[in-house]
Structure 1
Amino acid sequence: MSTLPNGRFGTLLDRMLGRGPHAVTVPPMDGPLRPNSLLDQAADHVRAVSPDNLTSWRDQLLFSSGPELHALDPSTGALRQMGRMDGDVCAIAAMADGSALAALAGGGLRTVDEEPAAASLLADAERRVIRCPTALLAGTDGRMLVTEGSRDRLPSQWRADLLHGKATGALWMLDRWDAPARPVASGLAWPSGIAWHRDGSIVVSEAWAHRLVRIDGQGRRSVLLGDLPGYPSRIAPAADGGWWLCLFAPRSQLVEFVLREREYREQMMAQIPERYWVAPALASGQDFREPMQGGGIKSMGMLKPWAPTRSYGLVCKLDADFQPQWSAHSRADGRRHGVTSAAELDGRLYVGCQGGDEVVSLDVQAQE
């Protein structure tokens, strides 16, 4: 009777044969994730530089643009600047009392609806600052969840965190917004989205692990949705009890291969500017020095929608059990890429496309 390879020999054999965790295959976009051009066809849009952290707040759409906060009135389309923080805004949460909080790169926490803004610091009981907040989620009881993308890097250094290959992210809970953070889970691969499951557990999107995991009250983890074809980001509630999942970049065989070549990665990061790394991007096709150019992408001088691409636009509708139902895309030949956040408001889905510097909106009922 033959036995399956295991231990160090099995790992070496998997690496030589390119199988198991060492495979460089990428799941296709099919079924509910079948590509379309819904994001590029959306006529309603607002121009904004790198819009992020879209949040429904006081019948308005609140979002960030670097350190700036903006509010969009969906009934009139009027856009106004709410204020400017003392650092880039990395996450926004609407609180049960009608206020809102913004988390800043470096660990700052600021109120949105007060002048001057009340300030606090995201830190644990040992005063270690949570410098890389990626998502906030407020509970009805005043508690708040915070995801920390990486223990070692800032939010802007997400490419370096992916290429270094260490899962140092964490999930924290605050009993009050100005209280010390308590650890809930650690060893997460760039967690960047949070949601409450209907059974009371917590759902977290792990970008570098390409999955959604559920974390129960005892800290046990189970995979709800795995092997996604892109890197998941924020999770937003849908009006029908489901969810909206943003995927900010596509996976590719080239990147998967590079992630398995440590020496090449280290030399690339040391010798080449970051914008030219073989890594995902929020926008692409703007510089001939980018990887994945030339005949591999264009045919007869035309960029095809099915061409390999470093950037993509994708938001997926999930049901109450976090399973995909349908999705809206901006493909390789589109420009509404880098979708990191979305919010549903008054029957419309607002999608922040950082790569295209736009907030677009879709009629939800027309797509279902």
Structure 2
Amino acid sequence: MALLRDLVDAILFPNRPVHGIPVLDGALSPNSRLDDARALGAPITAPDDLAPGPDGALYVSSGTTVLRCAGADFDSRRVFADLGRPVGGLAWTPDGRLLACVSGRGVLALTPDGRGEAQLEAVDGAPLRCPTAITVASDGTVFVTDGSRHNPPEDWLQDLMAAAPASGRLVVCDSRLAAARTLKGGLAWPNGVATTADEGALLVTEAWSHSLVSVPRGGGGRVLVPNFAGYPARLKRATDGFWIAFFALRSQLTEFVLREPRFRAQMMAEVPPELWIGPALSSPFNYREPTQIGRIKKLGIQKPWAPARSYGLLARLSPEGDPVESFHSRVGGHTHGITSVCAVGPRVIACAKGHDKLVELPAKARGAH
């Protein structure tokens, strides 16, 4: 009976708290509206991460390429490098090289003209198949998150639904991508990494445990935030804290499905992945989509408080990791699937991977960092 009651609650009240999951407040004030952000230039196919370059341009990973985006609105674009495999996390080194996380290949160092110079392919004898995020300390030390030993970055939904034991790790190496070692293992899809202001520790997001972890450079670690309402992606350091992106929102229905291994196994075997009950970067409103009827009010109008198939969410954190403010693109919005956000001078730019665009946050956020 308890199982049946949980199922009914998950379907009828998908945004109610379950097992300690916090629910976002329902405020729709302008200050929380990510959809007020201004789109920059033409669409970019699935932008994933961004890194301000030493030349004043913005470098954006998109598919198998890294784009160099220049101009006042970063709307003058050209291919900086085509790496042949999906590219994710990006970071610049103090000596002017761009480090790129490449699915199935590891980390590749690119010269200022886009040529490959060095590569990190394996750590402690295990291939670096799933690099998700990267950051570089001022002394040139490189830190990389390896999301999973089982799946590449593009198969993140399969990794979540398989519910395998946490196999991600935080890797550290020198500026030459040599002397690599595992700093912390057993992480649940680590998806973002940034150094603290004094560079004595790293903050790491874990998507599948919905948490933010502090890891000293000497090893160990402790949980700073144990239970985010969304699945965290990358975080970038700002002058007074951090910007953090969330690529999707958690829901009671998804949490229920994650507790049912037989149902998940059958769903994964018989249903197309885009129709699985789980988080999504965007919601094209397929009539076969799970819970889609719950999002309809009348004549195709969607309720902003309805079950969230996809969502847009980013936040600013204090230096201690506490949330200071947040920006939302709710159900029916057009800025979903946020995978990266960072300060570029006085501006704050985000990747809306679910809606193929770069956006600039409103003036309130520009002054917040």
Instruction: Please say if residues 86 and 102 of structure 2, whose CA atoms lie closer than 8 Å, have aligned partners that are also in contact.
Output: yes
Between 221-230 and 351-360, the greater mean CA deviation after superposition = 221-230
Distance apart, 1:272 and its partner CA: 1.0
Of residues 58, 63, 78, the one that matches 1:66 is 63
Give the match for residue 211 of structure 1.
211
Is 1:48 the counterpart of 2:44? The answer is yes
Distance apart, 1:330 and its partner CA: 0.8
Q: Residues 191 and 34 (structure 1 numbering): CA distance in 2 closer, same or farther, change over 3 Å?
A: farther
What do the CA deviations read for 1:151-210 (whole angstroms, capped 9, x no partner)?
111111111111122211111111234314201111100000011124511111000111
Distance apart, 1:122 and its partner CA: 2.4
Give the match for residue 33 of structure 2.
38
Give the match for residue 252 of structure 1.
251
* Corresponding residue SS for 1:156: helix
State the number of aligned residues. Answer: 349
Question: C-alpha separation between the residues in 2 aligned to 1:134 and 1:293?
Answer: 30
Output the amino acid matched with 1:230.
G
Between 255-264 and 300-309, the greater mean CA deviation after superposition = 300-309
* Corresponding residue SS for 1:118: strand
Q: Residues 196 and 207 (structure 1 numbering): CA distance in 2 closer, same or farther, change over 3 Å?
A: same
Between 248-257 and 157-166, the greater mean CA deviation after superposition = 157-166
The alignment-based identity, stated in percent, is: 38
Give the match for residue 76 of structure 2.
79
Is 1:288 the counterpart of 2:305? The answer is no
- For the aligned residue pairs, the C-alpha RMSD in angstroms reads 2.5
Q: Residues 114 and 98 (structure 1 numbering): CA distance in 2 closer, same or farther, change over 3 Å?
A: same
Q: Residues 258 and 285 (structure 1 numbering): CA distance in 2 closer, same or farther, change over 3 Å?
A: same
Distance apart, 1:345 and its partner CA: 0.8
Which runs of 5 or more structure 1 residues have no equivalent in the other structure? 1-13
Give the match for residue 235 of structure 1.
235
Is 1:276 the counterpart of 2:275? The answer is yes
After TM superposition, the score normalised by the length of structure 2 is 0.88
Question: C-alpha separation between the residues in 2 aligned to 1:147 and 1:117?
Answer: 21
Distance apart, 1:119 and its partner CA: 3.9
Instruction: Please say if residues 348 and 365 of structure 2, whose CA atoms lie closer than 8 Å, have aligned partners that are also in contact.
Output: no
Between 344-353 and 215-224, the greater mean CA deviation after superposition = 215-224
Output the amino acid matched with 1:208.
W
Instruction: Please say if residues 246 and 315 of structure 1, whose CA atoms lie closer than 8 Å, have aligned partners that are also in contact.
Output: yes
Distance apart, 1:270 and its partner CA: 1.1
Give the match for residue 335 of structure 2.
336
> Aligned runs of 1:2-13 on 2, under 5 Å?
none
Q: Residues 36 and 273 (structure 1 numbering): CA distance in 2 closer, same or farther, change over 3 Å?
A: farther
Instruction: Please say if residues 341 and 352 of structure 1, whose CA atoms lie closer than 8 Å, have aligned partners that are also in contact.
Output: yes
Which runs of 5 or more structure 2 residues have no equivalent in the other structure? 7-16
Between 310-319 and 175-184, the greater mean CA deviation after superposition = 175-184
After TM superposition, the score normalised by the length of structure 1 is 0.88
What do the CA deviations read for 1:319-355 (whole angstroms, capped 9, x no partner)?
1111111111111010210000112112111110011
Output the amino acid matched with 1:54.
L
Give the match for residue 4 of structure 1.
none
Give the match for residue 110 of structure 1.
108
Is 1:147 the counterpart of 2:145? The answer is yes
Distance apart, 1:226 and its partner CA: 2.2
Distance apart, 1:217 and its partner CA: 4.3
What do the CA deviations read for 1:46-92 (whole angstroms, capped 9, x no partner)?
31010111111122211111011112225354422212112111211
Distance apart, 1:360 and its partner CA: 0.5
Q: Residues 48 and 95 (structure 1 numbering): CA distance in 2 closer, same or farther, change over 3 Å?
A: same
Output the amino acid matched with 1:219.
G
Distance apart, 1:267 and its partner CA: 0.9
Output the amino acid matched with 2:105.
G
Distance apart, 1:27 and its partner CA: 0.8
What do the CA deviations read for 1:240-299 (whole angstroms, capped 9, x no partner)?
3211000000000000000000111111111111111111000013311111111x1111
Q: Residues 15 and 70 (structure 1 numbering): CA distance in 2 closer, same or farther, change over 3 Å?
A: same
Give the match for residue 23 of structure 2.
28
Q: Residues 275 and 180 (structure 1 numbering): CA distance in 2 closer, same or farther, change over 3 Å?
A: farther
Give the match for residue 178 of structure 1.
177
Instruction: Please say if residues 123 and 180 of structure 1, whose CA atoms lie closer than 8 Å, have aligned partners that are also in contact.
Output: no
Give the match for residue 57 of structure 1.
53
Give the match for residue 196 of structure 2.
197
